[in-house]
Amino acid sequence: MSLNPSIRKVVPASPPTATASYDYYDIASGIGLKNFYVAQALSSGALTDYYLTTDATDYSGRTSCKMIPAGAGYTTDDNYEVTFNLPKIIKGNVRVSVLQGLAAGGAGQFVFLLMKLYKVSGGVVTQLGDEVCTNPVVSTGSTTTFSRENTVFVVGRTHFKKGDILRLNIKVYASNLVSTGYGTDPAGRDDVATVSGGIISTAGNSTQLKVGVPFIIDI
């Protein structure tokens, strides 16, 4: 006997398989520490871009940011930035590991760094945590003098929407006469002399500047 064509059996469809995909880090712990690295880009020999990258194999346009100051005071004031293409939440200790130094010459000359961290959203700039300062490096005179410093910004829960910018501002404060500055190479190559001054660290010492950022994973 044939079935009545007006009677149809409705079979419920199987629920779709749930697939979770996250761009966050260290999902199991709930907080993921992501490292960013300071870098500089050159065009026709001139610095054109100061940025933060997650690629530790990048070669920066220059291995260090340095200058021979004419007198005591601020010698450089630069912003390194990354733009988020997805929403992010940052909370916790943002740690900065940096090499700073002076070229040989001028015993008693010194250098230190002042750093600030910012969120930039739609033209509104908000400082995150307090300004931090590295310990001064004092020249021995006859040799290149340098140190590796580790500083920390304590950042409360901060939401970044798509298109917001994380900015690290670095100012160099130095005395005069000799080349002073800090490392800027993600790949951590040795420093080399440039038109801006002599080496600020000796061979075998990484010029990498690392920024460890703690992201909250909202799952």
Domain boundaries defined on the chain? 36-216
Answer whether 196's CB lies under 8 Å from 68's CB.
Answer: yes
Confidence (pLDDT) at 31: 63
Q: Which residues lie across from 213 on neighbouring strands?
A: 34
Given a cut of 80, whether residue 7 has pLDDT beyond it is: no
- What CATH fold (topology level) applies to the domain 36-216? Jelly Rolls (2.60.120)
Distance, CA of 32 to CA of 154 (rounded, Å):
16
User: What does the DSSP 8-state code read for residue 8?
Assistant: -
Phi and psi torsions of 27, nearest 5°: -60, -40
Neighbours of 215 (CB within 10 A): 20
Distance, CA of 84 to CA of 96 (rounded, Å):
19
**What b/e string do you get for 87-97 counting C-beta neighbours within 10 Å, with b at 16 or more?**
ebebebebbbb
Q: For the residues 111-130, what does the mean pLDDT come to?
A: 97
Distance, CA of 96 to CA of 155 (rounded, Å):
13
Answer whether 137's CB lies under 8 Å from 100's CB.
Answer: yes
| pLDDT tens-digit readout, 172-193 | 999 877 889 999 999 999 998 8
- Residues near 166 by beta carbon (within 8 Å), at least 6 away in sequence: 36, 52, 81, 82, 84, 90, 117, 118, 119, 120, 160, 213
Confidence of residue 28 (pLDDT cuts 50, 70, 90): low
Distance, CA of 114 to CA of 190 (rounded, Å):
23
Do you know the residue count of the chain? 219
| pLDDT tens-digit readout, 141-164 | 889 999 999 999 999 999 999 999
Confidence (pLDDT) at 32: 82
Distance, CA of 21 to CA of 80 (rounded, Å):
29
Q: How many helices (H) and strands (E) does the chain have?
A: 0, 12
Distance, CA of 208 to CA of 99 (rounded, Å):
7
- pTM value is 0.84
Answer whether 178's CB lies under 8 Å from 83's CB.
Answer: no
